[in-house]
Amino acid sequence: MKFLRLENKFSALVVDDEQQICDMVKIFLTFSGLFENVVTANDVIVAKQKLSNQKFDLIIIDNILPKRGGLDLVDYINNYSRNANYQKTRIILISGVLKAEDVISATRYGIKHILVKPFTNQKLIAAACDILGISTPNKDSEL
Amino acid sequence: MQEDTQPFQLLDALFEPIVIIDDKFKIIYYNHFFSTFTKASPRIIRNAQTIFKIINVEEKILQTLLATASANNQVALSQEMEIKLASDASEENLAPDRQVHASMKVIPLSTTRYILCFNVLSVEKGLHRKYREKLEELKRAHGQIIQADKLATLGELSASIAHEINNPLAIAMGHGEILERVLENETIQERELVDNAYKNISEALQRIKTIVMNMKSFAHKSEEKKQYHDLISIIDKSMMLVDTPFRAAGIDLKFERPVDKFITLVNRIEMEQVIVNLLKNALDALREQSTISAAHIHGIVEIKLKKNKQDECLEILVIDNGPGIPEKIQGEIFSPFFTTKEISEGTGLGLSVSSKIVEGHHGKLQLTKSSNEGSIFTVQLPLIEVSSYVASVNALNASNDASRKKILVVDDEEKILNILSTFLEEVGHTMIGSTDPSEALEMMDKLEMDLIITDYNMPRMNGHDFAKNVRKKSNSIPLIYLTSSQFLNHFQEDRQKYNIAGLILKPFSKEDVTTIIDGVFKEAKKK
């Protein structure tokens, strides 16, 4: 199966307090050939700034962020896109540990995709493709 | 010649075995208690030539004592010793020689008359020995409890360590992957060396990941023993276990059984332990109340089981009409070793252990009400779909095998859920269980799954209606019917209409299930 490279690539915002995780996710996304313009933020305040500057197709958020949790940001984004009449933002939650209460609260915010660290490139891209409603690129088409 | 024993009769009033002997050890007089002490009948004592017929001590020892007493004309005391009480002369006393632990005291009356009394220490000694034994036992038990508590703390600690390690681990593994990808397309002189180095790094990281996973499962040891159970039957069993003490105390135990099943993913033994513990606490509170309060309140303990829609969880409420828990100790009741009971009656671990168990089930144990009219303890457990989803995601995370799937199974029978879960896990997939089609539909919106298997014949919503609703939400997710042959015609009808990918006929074998599922996944991949 040949994967057709999209003319318009997707944009993404990665929010994690560890820069190295942000870097890694950014590289994963750009390597897939599906994304261009991947922006990173280390806390909620910066993330909100970036959000006010542009619209993202996909947002990847760490469950545990300093000061206010990742879900706070999710809530903000949901309200924001509702008010701005954007279509529902697609969000992937990444988490160091998965507890039932995390699942319950995540689902309340409409998040279907939760990745537990450490995750592989393959898992991240699979989740991203699923959420964007496109088919997974096979390895040959990457890079 | 009969000696005048009149002055000695005073000795009968004393509660100490006393005997008066002469220098030839012949018994001149003995008090009542001596007879009791030796268990020898008066006839035997009277007929005894010497005291040694009755009491088996070395003549030398007694001789020395008499000599010392007589020489100094004062009381002589022997050391503590084991004294055998002779039983041979007695027909009433057929038991083997009795041994007592005692010391002897000799008070000289004259050169030929001595008062000999026994200070019996057997009881004290026995008590002391018992005390020592019990103390040792207590120390051992305390040690064990401390050990158990340490292990529990260690478990909690390893869970948080695991969490801390996962972040840097994710960075290392992820960047490793990036390196591999970049280097793949480069021409490098030392290709083999680099490849080998990467392989070693990646294997080492994989090992760390496995260790961390094991640490996490150590923290939640019960995880692997969880099965689908109906909470109603768990409550029934727990009530049975405490039935006798409740009856004995005259306290009513009520449970309004809901019509619907309350199936969820739990460790049955542990959940029973939690409920029994809560019931026993309620019983103790009511018992205490009946001893102190003059007003006779009839003790009632009630269990309620309900679904909390708002918090999306199942709740078990244990309600009593006892005196309530004083406000000042409410904060401490879940701490280990906190108890209001007497030392031998409670360890103070019941609530702390119970609360750990419930946490291990991703739930909460709370005191939700306490007043002078009674207390309510509430156990909150996640819905079957959530608890099995968490277990499923954690299992998937533990392996790198991307072909493992999340399969939603909708069936209202816990047995079927357990069998399918075992089968699916054996072939590497994970299962999300659901007993309620409408709940399953909601889950479809919230969580991501790869396949749905649904029972056909369910109360409220049958397979046909369920499939119709599934297709409203998603056209792509494969759907399999699980049914007995009597509903076969429905499968044939719905097959085209709702794009049903396959059929598992009850009763089924592991092979039946895996063949059909593999086929469905292969088909889905082609598309």
For residue A66, CA distances in Å to A18, A26, A91, A112 come to 10, 20, 19, 23
Q: Is residue B68 part of a domain?
A: yes
B232: tokens are: 């109603």
Q: Is residue B202 part of a domain?
A: yes
pLDDT at B230: 94
Q: Is residue B457 part of a domain?
A: yes
Question: Strand pairing of B451-455 and B479-483?
Answer: parallel
Is A130 in the B-facing interface, judged by CB distances under 8 Å? yes
Is A66 in the B-facing interface, judged by CB distances under 8 Å? no
Chain A residues whose beta carbon lies within 8 Å of the beta carbon of residue B159: 97
Q: How many domains does chain B have?
A: 4
Q: List the beta bridge partners of residue B20.
A: B29, B115
Question: Do residues B441 and B500 share a domain?
Answer: yes
Do residues A103 and A114 touch, judged by C-beta distance below 8 A? yes
User: Over 60: is that where the pLDDT of B94 sits?
Assistant: no
Question: Do residues B171 and B209 share a domain?
Answer: yes
What residues have CB less than 8 Å from A101, skipping those under 6 apart?
A: B362
Q: Is residue B446 part of a domain?
A: yes
Q: Is residue B125 part of a domain?
A: no
User: Over 50: is that where the pLDDT of B383 sits?
Assistant: yes
pLDDT at B178: 87
Interface test with B, best of A63, A93, A98, A142 (most B CBs within 10 A): A98
Question: Do residues B341 and B256 share a domain?
Answer: yes
Side-chain half-sphere exposure of B29, counting CA atoms within 13 A: 18
Cα gap B409→B244, rounded to integer Å? 40
Query: Looking at residues B154-178, what average pLDDT do you find?
Result: 83
Question: Do residues B231 and B311 share a domain?
Answer: yes
pLDDT at A1: 36
Chain A residues whose beta carbon lies within 8 Å of the beta carbon of residue B309: none
Report DSSP letters for B369-394, one per residue.
Answer: EEETTEEEEEEEEE-HHHHHHHHHHH
The answer to whether the CB atoms of A121 and B175 lie below 8 A apart is no
Question: Do residues B134 and B197 share a domain?
Answer: yes
Last residue of a domain, one of B98, B120, B142: B120
Last residue of a domain, one of B120, B138, B169: B120
Question: Do residues B210 and B238 share a domain?
Answer: no
Looking at B7-110, list the stretches that DSSP marks H as alpha helix, in order from N- to C-terminal side.
32-38, 42-47, 59-72
More confident of the two residues B459 and B450: B450
Chain B residues whose beta carbon lies within 8 Å of the beta carbon of residue A126: 402
Q: Identify the contact set of chain B against chain A, taking CB-CB distances under 8 A.
A: 159, 162-164, 166-167, 169-175, 177-178, 181, 185, 209, 216, 312-313, 362-363, 382, 386-387, 389-390, 393-394, 397, 400, 402, 445-448
CB burial readout B431-444, b (16+ within 10 A) else e: bbbbbbbebbbbbb
Question: Do residues B457 and B519 share a domain?
Answer: yes
- Residue B294 belongs to domain spanning: 227-382
Question: Do residues B521 and B402 share a domain?
Answer: yes
Name the residue facing B386 among A97, A104, A113 (closest C-beta): A104
Name the residue facing B167 among A18, A122, A123 (closest C-beta): A18
Q: Is residue B1 part of a domain?
A: no
The answer to whether the CB atoms of A18 and B393 lie below 8 A apart is no
Chain B residues whose beta carbon lies within 8 Å of the beta carbon of residue A113: 448
The answer to whether the CB atoms of B170 and A121 lie below 8 A apart is no
pLDDT at B269: 87
Query: Looking at residues B64-74, what average pLDDT do you find?
Result: 89
The answer to whether the CB atoms of A119 and B170 lie below 8 A apart is yes
Name the residue facing B400 among A23, A28, A120 (closest C-beta): A120
Determine how many CB atoms are found less than 10 A away from the CB of residue B16. 14
pLDDT at A79: 80
Question: Do residues B144 and B193 share a domain?
Answer: yes
Q: How far is A141 from chain B (nearest CA, A)?
A: 13
The answer to whether the CB atoms of A112 and B393 lie below 8 A apart is no
User: Over 60: is that where the pLDDT of B273 sits?
Assistant: yes
Question: Do residues B372 and B393 share a domain?
Answer: no
What is the three-state SS of B157-194? HHHHHHHHHHHHHHHHHHHHHHHHHHHHCCCCCCHHHH
Q: Is residue B134 part of a domain?
A: yes
Cα gap A136→A126, rounded to integer Å? 6
Question: Do residues B341 and B232 share a domain?
Answer: yes
State what percent of residues in chain B have pLDDT above 90.
18
Q: How far is B475 from chain A (nearest CA, A)?
A: 13
Q: How far is A51 from chain B (nearest CA, A)?
A: 24
Q: Is residue B395 part of a domain?
A: yes
Last residue of a domain, one of B323, B347, B382: B382
Tabulate helix, strand, coil % of chain A (nearest 5): 45, 20, 40
pLDDT at B16: 87
For residue B461, CA distances in Å to B191, B383, B386 come to 61, 19, 21
Confidence at B222, pLDDT banded by 50, 70, 90 = very low
Per-residue pLDDT of chain A (143 residues; tens, 9 = 90+): 344 445 678 999 999 988 999 999 999 999 888 898 899 999 888 988 898 888 888 999 998 887 777 888 888 888 877 776 666 678 999 988 777 777 878 877 888 888 888 888 888 998 898 888 887 765 444 43
Is A25 in the B-facing interface, judged by CB distances under 8 Å? yes
Q: How far is B362 from chain A (nearest CA, A)?
A: 5
Q: How far is B384 from chain A (nearest CA, A)?
A: 11
Among the ranges B17-21, B47-51, B493-497, B522-526, which has the highest mean pLDDT value?
Answer: B17-21
Q: How far is B226 from chain A (nearest CA, A)?
A: 15
Q: Which domains does chain A have, with CATH numbers?
A: 10-52+73-137 (3.40.50.2300)
Interface test with A, best of B158, B164, B165, B166 (most A CBs within 10 A): B166
The answer to whether the CB atoms of A116 and B397 lie below 8 A apart is yes
pLDDT at B399: 67
Question: Do residues B284 and B355 share a domain?
Answer: yes
Cα gap B82→B101, rounded to integer Å? 5
Name the residue facing A103 among B175, B389, B445 (closest C-beta): B389
Average pLDDT score, chain B: 84
Please tell me the least confidently modeled range out of B87-101, B160-174, B419-433.
Answer: B87-101
Chain A residues whose beta carbon lies within 8 Å of the beta carbon of residue B445: 112
Nearest Cα residue to B14 out of B35, B37, B29, B31: B31
Nearest Cα residue to B161 out of B234, B211, B232, B197: B211
CATH number for the domain including B135? 1.10.287.130
CATH number for the domain including B24? 3.30.450.20
The answer to whether the CB atoms of B362 and A100 lie below 8 A apart is yes
The answer to whether the CB atoms of B177 and A126 lie below 8 A apart is no
pLDDT at B371: 85
CATH number for the domain including B449? 3.40.50.2300
Residue of chain B whose Cα is closest to the Cα of A18? B167
